[in-house]
Amino acid sequence: MPRPLIVPMGDPQPIPNTNPPQWRQPVIQVSPAPTPSQPWQVDLVPRDVISSDPTPIREPAADPLPNGSTAPSEDADLCAKNPDILACQKPELDAPEVELPKDTVSITYTPENFGGGGGSCVAPVDISYFGHSARILDTDQACGWISAYLRPVALLVAAFISLGIVVGGLKTE
């Protein structure tokens, strides 16, 4: 975690009635305070730096740690550094212990015959007029042609399309 930055705002002034003499310098403390919508947001807090050295801070610098403490080590436990964060909270589960119902379902597999059978052709259409009968639609020849040539081509095209869908789903980028 970065330490705040202090920016000097004036020269050090002596603090009266201090022994040893101490000096107060006004600074602005700049601390990161990012939010999801504004990741570069900072907090500006005016404060005073008190020291026993009258030498002024001329350039912005990292804020010295108060009371001579040291920065936490990088390998220190996250919860030891931040015990109140959500990741370190213990969950309070009040769900009752209920046994879930079990059900056994039997599944059977019946292979499908895609090669033929199951379908039928439309009956030929006949019309009768003035005592005569005439066939206006002969479906026998068309049905034979469709089942012999068109059906295998349609099944092959459907197989290639389904193979493309499966291969497209397996691609990783």
Q: Which among 66, 93, 119 is the end of a domain?
A: 66
Query: What proportion of the chain, given as a percentage, has pLDDT over 70?
Result: 86
Both tokens of 49, joined, read 């730096």
Whole-model pTM? 0.37
Strands (E), the chain: 5-8, 13-15, 22-32, 42-51, 61-62, 125-129, 132-137
Q: Which is it for strands 42-51 and 22-32: parallel, antiparallel or unpaired?
A: antiparallel
pLDDT of residue 133: 86
Give a yes or no: residue 78 inside a domain. no
Give a yes or no: residue 95 inside a domain. no
pLDDT of residue 1: 59
Q: What is the pLDDT of residues 116-157, one digit of tens each?
A: 555 677 788 888 888 888 888 888 888 888 878 888 899 999
Q: What is the C-alpha separation between 113 and 68, in angstroms, rounded?
A: 84
pLDDT of residue 56: 87
For the chain, the domain total comes to: 2
Give a yes or no: residue 114 inside a domain. no
List the domain range (segments joined by +) for residue 140: 134-170
Give a yes or no: residue 89 inside a domain. no
Low-confidence ranges of the chain (pLDDT < 70): 1, 64-76, 113-119, 172-173
Give a yes or no: residue 128 inside a domain. no
Q: Which among 66, 93, 108 is the end of a domain?
A: 66
